[in-house]
Structure 1
């Protein structure tokens, strides 16, 4: 009560002394600081768990670590947090599209807890999506607390996501671009300032508490050569195909494990499958950034020394074969982790598999001695950009992320080229990104169509009109006339004793005989009714409902749920609601 009273006084003071524009900027700064602290906390926790496990020096422990981590995560999620894990960014997009940008408070910390355990114990996923969920939830709930409207809450979600990405990579520009490309469907010039503030503060907080301890960074050693242009062009097309393979294989592996319904058994089976892969292919352990760093530092051969079974190999072609197997198996490792009940995202795996793609491309070319030696480190970095662009359908985010983590724009031209080619190649096979495909297919997310976006915000169950008087088909016309006298409507649903709709009667159907005394006594209602041109369900979305209205040309359609009559939905009420929402959105 005290908090609510103080909050009320603060909000009154704000209205009197602070414009909403400046208030939103202030809140963006607060969200940036909290988002940065969340990123630092998550990174520190994961590193602490990983260093503690590795200090045990157990030869075959890799097969057990993921099982334990996924099992603990599944138990905490089901019995403590009591929430269903999944792809975090997809959840954020769903909340913006269908939940008025309202994200549950538990998301402000639940994904941090579960992802720290999953990744810390070797789950083959990334921390980026969980921290984006955390930052977005912080933004949403601060927006709700401060009584912001839908559009302003959505902007606060974007600020939280920008701060999260900026804090975890120390890359403020990539944080802003990610928020614009992936989270927010539309951005005005005025929205840039809050996003910039949140992203910069998230990065500053991360630098203040973590220093140079970021998830991934590399200083370029090789220059960009313009005569490598054709090689980058080919790499872009390959990255697009690899992104397609990664997306579909990850989802396949996830579905495969998800078929097991019992959570504990599912965690054990998926965790053991992941553990076996990691035991033979050590780079699949965790996010995989350490492997990419070794490749960039020309220490690819040392990757073998970390494997219990392959430490004796040193032939360059053996390294290439090993890297190819890692590339092919990484999507399975990621899918097993998520499907078994672990928590993490596909952001880091897409960067990892992109780095391996670039490494393979450059290594094979150099080993074949085709007349042109190319930089392994440069192509590894550009490959990371290409696959990430294809998987996330976020080419600008991929470009600026790699540019920032390499502390320069030396590779900016090849990054732009490969990102564009990879995105175009992947888009030819996959119209939508990893995050949005399921939501768009189910109609829960509408992109780039303002009319459909507005319709998606309307819930048919709230538009059902239930004030119509019903009548049994065996009743006489005089009973119907009595209803006409009482009713303010000109439609009368005909239902039986089980509330099953048999037909519809309108005043036009009875106008000529309703005052005829003989007809009133002898005519049965069932002979006057007609079948409605179509029926709808309260579970249908508004696009489906409007499609039925357009197809039939009707102004009213009955709503049927579980074979029972519920009410009617009218085109006029839909139009009125649409107009109200449009005016409200324009006002906001």
Structure 2
């Protein structure tokens, strides 16, 4: 009588590599369809760069028309000159009214700063974006920023570029993953064209939008970003957005203070995030339709503009002054307080605008304030460190903050201080907040998004390490009644629930579950098993396959047990793997994460010349 199957012992990694042929496995999984995605991503990058240029020009046109009464498209600061208090107060209100009407009668998806909406489209809508969003989102953002809104253009550009990429993909028969790739390609291409920061745009795509690190997505995204960066050069120039000159004089004290700057940046990021969602909670309590909320947010902006006009608009001129060290202390304090308040409170109203440029200005203001307290290192050094820290803390993307800071200024010599500052800010942010300004909005809609990426433990364990090797096989010439009797003879402790059916040569011809045998015994007990096998796809795996492959098979074919067959002889069964055994990989991962052990122990060395005491036997 067969004995109940027992899991095989797990060998060491060295032993496994010595006996197992894994030549059929590779570092990455990619097919030639990536070439099709690359072919589409290249023109998509050019289109996204053109859309980015048009959006910047539209922002400049509205700003010049509203605040300066002229027809021009150059980006200017709303608060660069003195304006009538009525204009400063009412322009953002009117802009908010326009956005509210566009959102209610056009598309509600244009509300917000763009990134959460893009993430939601990827995770919950199969990367499908409406064509209406591609048109209305940049217009609404241009209205919001052009009328004084303290926002950046990058969020709307991400949403718009992503919408264009999604539309490209929706015109062709693509999978949801392929649509996601093109959506992110369009979004990051728009970012690269806006800030002339191609590497930071790719890193942002990986940290925030792709939710994977695979050639099938990274290569098309890099293609679109590269084309967008090249197309940008004749349109907007190739120089860094905020060029900074002057040597840095770093000392051990400066490196230690980078930790302090990072901790302060993290606290500011936490405060700004909390303000955004406290504001959103307040707006949801208002007894009026959400269409009117952006106008109220515009009133908050206008009031702030009366005190610090430089806080209005994108604020590239102020960011440049912070990074070259030419900004005054009074303006620094004003920007730090007013910009943080009007950005956080107005964003909660559901208006349209991005988060990157405001974070640049707020973080730069914090660093410029620190420059009056910390020892001098170089022009704008502390503003640069705090800028990366606040950005990394608010978006919970420290690598994006570091690379953005470098590409915006070309301060390559500040890499180590930036890593220290952004890393410290990230530490504070993740310890004090469960979610970022990007993911909190998604959570409030009833969804959960994990930002942690690691190697799937099912990728490092093989089927041969967990499968049951003692398998009860049933001959195809047995009747159903005889098969049921064989199963009963195996004993009550027999854990097998799936039975391979083999012919006279031992070749696999099908499978039957214990439940199927029970049902067949009631009405077809005298029929041979070969005649009652269900017409279904025979799902098998091999001993040298990773468990993730089995998990994919189980999900695709809706089974929870799979026969294991030899690779060279796919009709020979060598084992069975069940859903319970599949979890062995997860169990090992949990053990490595939770179980503490001391690996090395300190042994006291005897003084020189001391003899070892004899031990009793």
> Common fold, TM-score beyond 0.5?
yes
**What is the correspondence of 1:2-81 to structure 2 with a 5 Å cutoff?**
19-56=32-69, 58-60=83-85, 61-81=87-107
Using a 3 Å threshold, how does the CA distance of structure 1 residues 580 and 345 change in structure 2: closer, same or farther?
Answer: farther
**Cα shift readout 1:275-324 (whole Å, capped 9, x = no counterpart):** 011111123201222212223344323xxxxxxxxxxxxxx5xx2xx533
**In the alignment, what sits opposite 2:382?**
379
Q: Which has the higher helix share?
A: 1
> Separation in 2 of the partners of 1:450 and 1:417?
23
1:80 CA displacement:
4.0
3-state secondary structure, aligned to 1:363: coil
5+ residue gaps, structure 2: 1-30, 70-81, 457-551, 561-617
**Cα shift readout 1:88-140 (whole Å, capped 9, x = no counterpart):** 21111112111112122222221101000000111111111110011111111
> Separation in 1 of the partners of 2:37 and 2:291?
44
Aligned residue among 130, 136, 145 for 2:156: 130
Alignment of 1:278 onto 2:305: yes
> Separation in 1 of the partners of 2:226 and 2:117?
25
Aligned residue among 137, 140, 144 for 2:170: 144
**In the alignment, what sits opposite 1:222?**
247
Residues 362 and 376, structure 1, Cα contact 8 Å, conserved in 2? no
> Separation in 2 of the partners of 1:78 and 1:259?
19
1:225 CA displacement:
1.2
3-state secondary structure, aligned to 1:41: helix
Alignment of 1:262 onto 2:289: yes
Using a 3 Å threshold, how does the CA distance of structure 1 residues 266 and 412 change in structure 2: closer, same or farther?
Answer: same
Residues 35 and 138, structure 1, Cα contact 8 Å, conserved in 2? yes
1:39 CA displacement:
0.8
**What is the correspondence of 1:109-508 to structure 2 with a 5 Å cutoff?**
109-211=135-237, 216-227=241-252, 228-260=254-286, 261-263=288-290, 265-301=292-328, 319=330, 323-365=332-374, 372-375=375-378, 377-440=380-443, 443-447=446-450, 448=452
Residues 232 and 417, structure 1, Cα contact 8 Å, conserved in 2? yes
> Separation in 2 of the partners of 1:450 and 1:579?
23
> Separation in 1 of the partners of 2:267 and 2:366?
11
> Separation in 2 of the partners of 1:265 and 1:135?
27
> Separation in 2 of the partners of 1:33 and 1:386?
31
> Separation in 2 of the partners of 1:136 and 1:269?
29
Using a 3 Å threshold, how does the CA distance of structure 1 residues 90 and 356 change in structure 2: closer, same or farther?
Answer: same
Using a 3 Å threshold, how does the CA distance of structure 1 residues 33 and 222 change in structure 2: closer, same or farther?
Answer: same
TM-score (norm 1): 0.66
> Separation in 1 of the partners of 2:559 and 2:48?
32
Residues 92 and 299, structure 2, Cα contact 8 Å, conserved in 1? yes
Using a 3 Å threshold, how does the CA distance of structure 1 residues 392 and 264 change in structure 2: closer, same or farther?
Answer: closer
> Separation in 2 of the partners of 1:411 and 1:449?
27
Residues 35 and 135, structure 1, Cα contact 8 Å, conserved in 2? yes
Structure with max Cα Rg: 2
Using a 3 Å threshold, how does the CA distance of structure 1 residues 27 and 229 change in structure 2: closer, same or farther?
Answer: same
> Separation in 1 of the partners of 2:344 and 2:376?
36
> Separation in 1 of the partners of 2:223 and 2:443?
31
> Separation in 1 of the partners of 2:321 and 2:160?
30
> Separation in 2 of the partners of 1:220 and 1:582?
63
> Separation in 2 of the partners of 1:335 and 1:42?
23
1:450 CA displacement:
10
1:77 CA displacement:
2.3
> Separation in 2 of the partners of 1:94 and 1:85?
13
1:155 CA displacement:
1.0
Using a 3 Å threshold, how does the CA distance of structure 1 residues 410 and 449 change in structure 2: closer, same or farther?
Answer: closer
TM-score (norm 2): 0.63
1:451 CA displacement:
13
1:83 CA displacement:
4.9
3-state secondary structure, aligned to 1:109: helix
1:206 CA displacement:
1.9
Residues 91 and 147, structure 2, Cα contact 8 Å, conserved in 1? yes
**Cα shift readout 1:172-212 (whole Å, capped 9, x = no counterpart):** 10111110000011121343221111111111222221225
Residues 111 and 130, structure 1, Cα contact 8 Å, conserved in 2? yes
> Separation in 2 of the partners of 1:164 and 1:343?
17
> Separation in 2 of the partners of 1:451 and 1:386?
27
3-state secondary structure, aligned to 2:372: helix
3-state secondary structure, aligned to 2:380: helix
Residues 202 and 221, structure 2, Cα contact 8 Å, conserved in 1? yes
Residues 275 and 345, structure 2, Cα contact 8 Å, conserved in 1? no
Using a 3 Å threshold, how does the CA distance of structure 1 residues 299 and 121 change in structure 2: closer, same or farther?
Answer: same
**In the alignment, what sits opposite 1:495?**
none
Superposition RMSD on alpha carbons, in Å? Answer: 2.8
> Separation in 2 of the partners of 1:391 and 1:582?
43
Using a 3 Å threshold, how does the CA distance of structure 1 residues 406 and 104 change in structure 2: closer, same or farther?
Answer: same
